[in-house]
Amino acid sequence: MRIKKITEVIGSKVYTDSGDFFGEIEEANLQEN
């Protein structure tokens, strides 16, 4: 899954550039698979 232009704020809800809900992150380090 490739993620672009997400909100890089710890503990915030994350949305993709298309406006889809990705999930809540606890760490600023994100991976691309």
What tens digit of pLDDT does each residue of 1-23 get?
A: 555 555 555 455 665 666 665 66
More confident residue, 27 or 14: 14
Looking at residue 10, its pLDDT comes to: 45
Looking at residue 31, its pLDDT comes to: 60
- Distance separating alpha carbons of residues 3 and 24, to the nearest angstrom: 14
Contact 32, 5 (CB under 8 A): no
Residue with tokens 């994350």: 14
